[in-house]
Amino acid sequence: MNSWIFWGIAICFGAMMLTGLSLSAEKPVIVNLMVDYDMPASNIDNLIGIYNAVGSRNMSWTLFLTEKAAINERLFLATISPSSNIEMEMSGNHSDEKLSTISYAEQKDILGRAKTRLELCKICDVNEVHAKGFKPQSFDQNEDTYKVLDEMGLIYDTGFKAGILYAPGHEKDVWPYKVENHEFYAVPVSTYTLSGENVALDDREIKDKGLSSSQWYDMLVGKFNEVSGKDEPMVISLSTSISGTGDYFEALKQFLDYAKSGDASFVKTNDLVNMSITGVHEATAALLPTNAAITAEKSTEATTSGCAECDTMKNNTNINAEGQNNTTMVITV
């Protein structure tokens, strides 16, 4: 009798273990796309290409803007800013900027202007844009940068690479983490082991290494498969100058389709940080795209404000009740 009880308990326990493993394996991969609009290295067509590729698949992503990009393309950026799938954040002044080579005062001036220009990429009476995150060009920053970010009240900094470039004591962290003695969270870009070397999932770094677009695609798929079923997000750093054109653009679209077929959950960077803060490492309903400031009335009724430019964008943009910008920008790619 005792042996039957023992085997019954063992079988039930084994079934529970298998069920747990099955649920773990079916847990969607969390993917965070961070796109740097790196003017003047790229142009608006590159950005629109990525915008179409990601938007047509209904995926969330984060777009980082230099001051020059926010100035030169403000009308387009303001038009897409109400989209609940896009989070627009700040970078520095221009592509390939080296913040670590300049003083604290200069950094404060540059990042302050970048923040101001970013927050002007809005449509009056429709939405607001508030800087929450920062992406340093080429991962270049220093303690002065951190001080400025704290003073600006930013929530996160993406200038880190998991296991390669990290704050002290966080060499093994793959989720965003609070940087000691600072107010912001570090968001590490994912890394992948290639020929025995840890390489960041950063398209500029990959191209600089002389790797082809097909090798880049293989890396993305390899990392996706590696983290599948694990408690690890996949954070990818892209630039419009590389992933917005040519073979690298094709590789990106192929990967998006691959990830979609694997039921991946695409989240904005701020959502990823919130997941780390709360400890809920899933794309729950609380993280779904929302924009309470945008109502159905605003989507259908032409209105007038004190800004003629904003009125034109607002009244020519189809924004639905969920805050989704239905404007479609189409180019030949």
Q: What is the pTM of this model?
A: 0.82
Q: Please state, in angstroms and rounded to a whole number, the distance separating the CA atoms of residues 177 and 186.
A: 5
More confident residue, 296 or 143: 143
Angle subtended by helix axes 104-119 and 143-152, to nearest 10: 40
Task: Give the confidence band of 39 by pLDDT, cuts at 50, 70, 90.
Answer: confident
Average pLDDT over residues 233-249: 97
Q: What is the CA radius of gyration of the chain?
A: 22
Answer whether 206's CB lies under 8 Å from 199's CB: yes
**Where is average pLDDT lowest: 82-96, 236-250, 298-312?**
298-312
**What pLDDT score was predicted for residue 314?**
52
Task: Give the confidence band of 312 by pLDDT, cuts at 50, 70, 90.
Answer: low
Answer whether 157's CB lies under 8 Å from 136's CB: yes
Average pLDDT over residues 182-193: 98
pLDDT digits (tens, 9 = 90+) for 244-283: 999 999 999 999 999 999 999 999 999 999 999 999 998 8
More confident residue, 309 or 170: 170
| Angle formed at CA 281 by CA 277 and CA 284, multiple of 5 degrees | 100
Q: Please state, in angstroms and rounded to a whole number, the distance separating the CA atoms of residues 164 and 152.
A: 27
Tokens 């300049």, residue? 102
The percentage of the chain sitting over the pLDDT mark of 90, rounded to a whole number, equals 72
**What pLDDT score was predicted for residue 36?**
96
Q: Please state, in angstroms and rounded to a whole number, the distance separating the CA atoms of residues 98 and 110.
A: 11
The amino acid that residue 107 corresponds to is Q
pLDDT of residue 13 exceeding 70: no
**Where is average pLDDT lowest: 46-60, 84-98, 142-156?**
84-98
**What pLDDT score was predicted for residue 27?**
83
- Rounded mean pLDDT of the chain? 84
Answer whether 194's CB lies under 8 Å from 224's CB: no
Q: Which two tokens stand for residue 175?
A: 């989720």
**What pLDDT score was predicted for residue 65?**
96
Q: What is the DSSP string of 291-325?
A: -TT--HHHHHS----S-HHHHHHHHTS-B-TTS-B
The amino acid that residue 285 corresponds to is A
Angle subtended by helix axes 246-261 and 44-55, to nearest 10: 20
Q: Please state, in angstroms and rounded to a whole number, the distance separating the CA atoms of residues 107 and 111.
A: 6
Task: Give the confidence band of 221 by pLDDT, cuts at 50, 70, 90.
Answer: very high
Q: Please state, in angstroms and rounded to a whole number, the distance separating the CA atoms of residues 141 and 186.
A: 12
Q: Please state, in angstroms and rounded to a whole number, the distance separating the CA atoms of residues 186 and 158.
A: 6
pLDDT of residue 4 exceeding 70: no
Residue 254, classified by CB atoms within 10 Å of its CB into exposed (0-12), middle (13-18) or buried (19+), is middle
Average pLDDT over residues 3-21: 40
**What pLDDT score was predicted for residue 309?**
58
pLDDT digits (tens, 9 = 90+) for 75-97: 999 999 999 999 999 998 888 88
Domains and CATH numbers, the chain: 27-289 (3.20.20.370)
Average pLDDT over residues 127-141: 96
pLDDT of residue 296 exceeding 50: no
**Residue 92 phi, psi (nearest 5):** -95, -130
Average pLDDT over residues 215-225: 98
